[in-house]
Structures are given as C-alpha cells and as structure tokens.
Chain A
Amino acid sequence: MNSDDYITEFGMVLPHCDYKRVLIIACGALAREILALIELNDWKHIALTCLPAKYHLYPEKITIAVEAAVFKYSNDYDEIFIAYADCGTGGLLANKCKDLDVKMIAGPHCYSFFEGNNKFSNLSENEITAFYLTDFLVKQFDSFVWKPMGLDKHPELLDMYFGNYTKLVYQAQINDSELDAKAREISERMGLPLERRYTGYGDLETALSKI
C-alpha cells in the first residue's frame, strides 16, 4: 500500500511527541498539499494529523471524526485548526466547529477553495456539468471513484453515473507531467473532454497562513 492509499484508508497519525503550537486536523486528501505548504513557508509551529480521506464517501462520518480528534488533542495544543470545508456535511461541521471553538476553511469543498472561493462561485454557475479532480483525486481515482462506483466490474454503469457531465476539470495544485498524463487517461476512460487548470493551493494557503 503506497502512502496515498494509506492516507485514503486510515489517515495520517501524528508523530510521537511532536509538540508544536498549532495542530491542523485535516482531510487525508489534503495531506500532501498541507505538508508542502508547511515546508514551503517554514511553518515550524504547525503539526499535522489527517483523518481518512475516504470519509468523503460518507460525509456523515466527518463531523463525528473531527469532534473526536479535537477532544483527543485539545489539551496538547494551544490552537487547533480544521482543514475541511463544508465537504457535504450540510453545515453540520461548521456548527460543530463553532461549538468546539475551532476554526475551519471557508467554502463548500476543496474544488472551491483550491480555485479560490470567490472565483469558483462565479465559475460554478456555468460549470454545473463539470466533474472535478484535484492532484489527490487524480492519484487516487481508482480507489476513490472508479472502484467504489463499481465501474471496474461494471463499466456499463458509466453513463448512469456520468451521463449528465460534459467535461472533466483537473485543478492542478502542482505542475507534474505524470499527473497530467494520468488525468488525460481518466478523461478518456470517462469519455469527457479534459480541461486542466493550474490552481496552486488557492484559499488553502490563505487560510493556513492566518494561523
């Protein structure tokens, strides 16, 4: 199992005795991006732990897991930040974060905050038939999308799932020719034209820089 597979299934555990001032409790789908930002900005005060990325397949688990993680670590850090947007919780996560007095990322989901919430909000009116991929989803497409939807065994279901989509938008956080090639392969498999947009880290970086 490679590290992305592991983060999808189990999340990322904090290294033992890794005391910092701030702890980020993040979605596993953001692990690599947050680690890159920590290194890029030399944020020595920030530690990171991640919940399993696969919770996105069952959004009702996200709020419960975030609350449990906050209780687990709240005595060990001066501040905790939740690196999730609403992520399909229908406002439940935002309410819970308010109750727990912790901050989270603004916006509906990672496609929005990577693009920049304001920009995405303007774009999305005309993009309701777009299916989005991030770097993480390109890497984990089979285990996160294709297999859970049963498309590995029943490709005839493709049209029932994606028949109303008209394009695949790959929001690239980094420039990587291997990921670009994988995104092209996915677009061919889905039968959707590919649009690649370099977003960088968007509002994720803005939000973390304020911690």
Chain B
Amino acid sequence: MSDEQDIILADLSDEELTLQMHDDLYDGMKEEIAESVNILLGRGWMPYDILTKALVEGMRIVGIDFRDGILFVPEVLLAANAMKGGMFILKPLLAETGAPRLGNMLIGTVKGDIHDIGKNLVTMMMEGAGFEVKDLGINNPVENYLQELESGEYDILGMSALLTTTMPYMKVVIDTMVEKGMRDDYVVMVGGAPLNEEFSKAIGADAYCRDAAVAVETAKEFMAKKHNQMVA
C-alpha cells in the first residue's frame, strides 16, 4: 500500500486522511500516525472517533490480511507499534472526554509461558474497541488470576499461551474457578498459536479466539448477550 510520492498529511481532507491512516497503519508508519492523530484533533475530531474510525478500522484491515496470509507477524507488529503511537496520544484524552465502555477484561499469559505478542495485540484491540483491560503480563499462576478477579469487577477473563507445553495450564485455571464456584461469573476466552476450537471446548472455556479481531468481536457478542439478559 505504500506510495513513493510524498504526501502532505495536513493537506488531506478528513476522509482522505482517515484512509491514509489506514494505509500508514498497514505500512507500520508510527510517526505518520501520530502526526495524523494530532491533525484530526486539531480539526476538532473527538478522540473516540479517531480511535474507532482511523486506528481500529485500520487494524481491522491489517487483521483480515494477516488471517488471509497476505501479511505476516513482522508486519502486524509494525502496524501495532504504529497504532501504539496513536494510542499514546489518545489514551489520556479518551479518559477526559469519556468514551463508551463496553466491559472489563482481565488478561494474562499462563504460568510457564513468557510469550506476549498475541496477548498484547488483543489488549490493544480490546482497549481500542472500548473495553477496560487489566493486563497481568506473563507467567501467571492460577493465584494471580483468581486474586485479581476477586478484587475487581471483571466481565471477561482472557488467557494466552504459545507453547503446547503451557496451554494445558488454562484448564487448571478454569477448573479452579469451577471449584470456587466463580466460573459462571465470567466469560473465559482463550487464544494462542497452538490452540484450537476443540481444545477450548475440552478445557471448558467459552470461546477460542484465533486472533485479536476475533477476540474483540467475540467479547462484544458476549457483552451484548449479557446486556440483553439483564434487560429481559
């Protein structure tokens, strides 16, 4: 998607600039994304609109091309890094201006596993979609998850693992939640390269999310169901 021609971002219309930001995210251009975010803020855009229409939509396109084998992990990481540049500017403003909150999520990589690329992408995309996310980081024993779940008001628990040797630990966490009678209080979503739908069902999770975009859509669906149940 890159263009050899120099583009003056400030000269673009709002619509052109939004599309250009999708391209710049796709190409991992962090400085250009930060510049464009500032331009749109200067034009009076609400931070939430910049986040959803420019950044999240751009990352959604990146996610589709990753799923279809057009983009690979390095390109997705560069795009995520560019989005981080935009989020860095928007995050404090979102808190000030009050963006819609869809729900609260606790996320962490399981015990024995230090891989966090996928988890970090999910965290970023969930935050972009309007979820409040608490990230427990890597190598989490079951106690970390339970302690945090009990002390906060969470709707969703997300667990990540990259290794076939560590992914069974997700079942340890879910089984402990069952023992403590708290399993049904949360939606449990799991993800990571070696996982699949079958594994997710076998360990008693609610959903397997193959990538960050699916995680966002799945979380939104569960929150909508929960909302409908409360209304009914």
Interface residues of A (CB under 8 A from B): 59, 86, 88-91, 108, 125, 128-129, 149-151, 153-154, 156-157, 160-161, 164-165
Asked if A154 and B139 make an inter-chain contact with CB atoms under 8 angstroms apart, the answer reads no
* A164 CB contacts on chain B under 8 angstroms: 114-116, 138
12 A-B pairs with CB atoms under 8 Å apart are A88-B164, A90-B167, A150-B72, A150-B74, A150-B78, A156-B81, A157-B78, A157-B81, A160-B77, A161-B117, A164-B114, A164-B138
How distant is the Cα of A154 from the Cα of B113 in the complex, in angstroms? 25
Asked if B117 and A108 make an inter-chain contact with CB atoms under 8 angstroms apart, the answer reads no
Min Cβ gap B141→A in Å is 12
Asked if B114 and A150 make an inter-chain contact with CB atoms under 8 angstroms apart, the answer reads no
How distant is the Cα of A59 from the Cα of B196 in the complex, in angstroms? 13
How distant is the Cα of A66 from the Cα of B196 in the complex, in angstroms? 21
B194 within 8 A of A: yes
How distant is the Cα of A165 from the Cα of B162 in the complex, in angstroms? 14
Min Cβ gap B31→A in Å is 12
Asked if A90 and B74 make an inter-chain contact with CB atoms under 8 angstroms apart, the answer reads no
Asked if A157 and B77 make an inter-chain contact with CB atoms under 8 angstroms apart, the answer reads yes
Number of interface residues of B (CB under 8 A): 23
Assess A160 versus B81: contact at CB under 8 Å? Given A90-B164, A108-B165, A154-B74.
yes
How distant is the Cα of A101 from the Cα of B28 in the complex, in angstroms? 49
Interface residues of B (CB under 8 A from A): 28, 72-75, 77-78, 81, 112-117, 120, 138-139, 163-165, 167, 194, 199
Residue ID in chain A nearest B137 by CB atoms: A164
Min Cβ gap A163→B in Å is 8
Interface of B is mostly: loop
Residue ID in chain B nearest A162 by CB atoms: B114
* A151 CB contacts on chain B under 8 angstroms: 74
Question: Which of B28, B78, B116 is most buried by chain A, counting CB atoms within 10 A of its CB?
Answer: B78
* B164 CB contacts on chain A under 8 angstroms: 86, 88-91, 108
How distant is the Cα of A151 from the Cα of B77 in the complex, in angstroms? 11
How distant is the Cα of A160 from the Cα of B113 in the complex, in angstroms? 15
Min Cβ gap A155→B in Å is 11
Asked if A149 and B74 make an inter-chain contact with CB atoms under 8 angstroms apart, the answer reads yes
Given contacts A86-B164, A125-B112, A149-B73, 13 further A-B contacts (CB under 8 A): A59-B194, A89-B164, A128-B112, A128-B139, A150-B73, A150-B74, A153-B74, A154-B74, A157-B77, A160-B77, A160-B117, A161-B117, A164-B116
